[in-house]
Amino acid sequence: MAGTKLLSAVAAALVLASCQREPVLRVGSKNFTEQLVLGEIIAQHLEHRLGHPVERRLNLGGTLLAHQALQAGEIDLYPEYTGTALTSVLKAPAVGDAAIVLNQVRQFYRAQAQAEWLDPLGFNNSFAMVVRGEDARRLKLATLSDAGAVKDFWQLGVGFEFQARPDGLPTLTQTYQLQLKGAPRSMDLGLMFQALMQKSVNMIAANSTDGLLAGADVAILKDDQAAFPPYQAAIVVRQDRLSSTPGLREALVELSGKIDDAAMRQMNAQVDIKKRTPREVAAEWLKAAGL
């Protein structure tokens, strides 16, 4: 009888402890290669440092879907870009100074979204207007101002967000007076490089850390009028989870400043070109970084 009572007491204690334990951390990401890799880096790093499993809610969709998931408490943290938050979430005009943009989004998220922006991860994933190398050489193109001087030529391939966002297509066409030959073709981000190489389009709106840029005969046209805002990648995390999860802030801060443009481009290339999984690439990078 005494043994039965003891077992019941132990069971009750375990149930109570389970009820008091923090919910599993939920790491989110948007729906493209870089975000999947970053989501895995964050999740694996937290599992290593905090010693318990992390729930992955990766591939959520675009910016607004990820932001809504954060606000609703469906995820606790995810990687975001300062310029994207500035224009798509704050609905503020583009600003060229990286420090000013980071400060603006930090203040807004603290006040309006109960979330913190940690220090940037170390790379800036700006929009990159890309043309075929042969066209850049033939037309002597180095900058977007050069492209704006070429008339009745540009057939543009874009992703949905670039076309919809105020810091995307409107900024490009207004700043550089880019004359398009027909309406831009909206397509999946992974298909744009294929369309460029097959000459279905002759300029695409890529990102500066796209893995497919590695080794391809393409040219990135310089944003010589600084039309696009800075897009520093950083981790955005709910304030309630930072305050309730011991060691969370310290673990996340270990990732700040650790990933430069070249490293991110190489990781993206491992997935997009070498066909490795984001989980494998993330694990390899963490090991090499000593994390």
Same domain, 67 and 191: no
Q: Is residue 5 part of a domain?
A: no
Task: Say how far apart CA 264 and CA 123 lie, in whole Å.
Answer: 8
Q: Is residue 278 part of a domain?
A: yes
Task: Say how far apart CA 241 and CA 249 lie, in whole Å.
Answer: 9
Is the sign of the CA dihedral 176, 182, 186, 190 positive or negative?
negative
Task: Say how far apart CA 282 and CA 261 lie, in whole Å.
Answer: 15
For the chain, state the CA radius of gyration: 22
Same domain, 132 and 202: yes
Q: Is residue 266 part of a domain?
A: yes
Select from 221, 243, 277 the last residue of a domain.
221
- The tens place of each residue's pLDDT in the chain, 291 residues long, gives 545 444 444 444 444 444 345 568 999 999 999 999 999 999 999 999 999 999 999 999 889 999 999 999 999 999 999 999 998 899 998 888 999 999 999 999 999 999 999 999 999 998 899 999 999 999 999 999 999 999 989 999 999 888 888 888 999 999 999 989 999 999 987 789 899 999 999 999 998 898 888 778 999 999 999 888 899 999 999 999 999 999 999 999 999 999 999 899 999 999 988 999 999 999 999 999 999
Sheet order of strands, 26-28 included? 55-57, 26-28, 77-81, 233-238, 115-117
What are the residues whose beta carbons fall under 8 Å from the beta carbon of 195, sequence distance 6 or more? 157, 185, 187, 201, 204
Q: Is residue 3 part of a domain?
A: no
Q: Is residue 90 part of a domain?
A: yes
pTM of this prediction?
Answer: 0.79
Q: Is residue 160 part of a domain?
A: yes
Task: Say how far apart CA 236 and CA 282 lie, in whole Å.
Answer: 19
117: tokens are 């922006």
Residue of 87, 120, 124 lying closest to 234 (CA atoms): 120
For residue 263, the enclosing domain spans: 24-124+231-288
Task: Count other Cβ atoms within 10 Å, centred on residue 3.
Answer: 7
Residue 172's CATH number: 3.40.190.120
Amino acid, res. 192: M
Same domain, 278 and 252: yes
Sheet order of strands, 218-221 included? 185-186, 156-158, 203-207, 127-132, 218-221
Select from 195, 221, 247 the last residue of a domain.
221
Q: Is residue 236 part of a domain?
A: yes
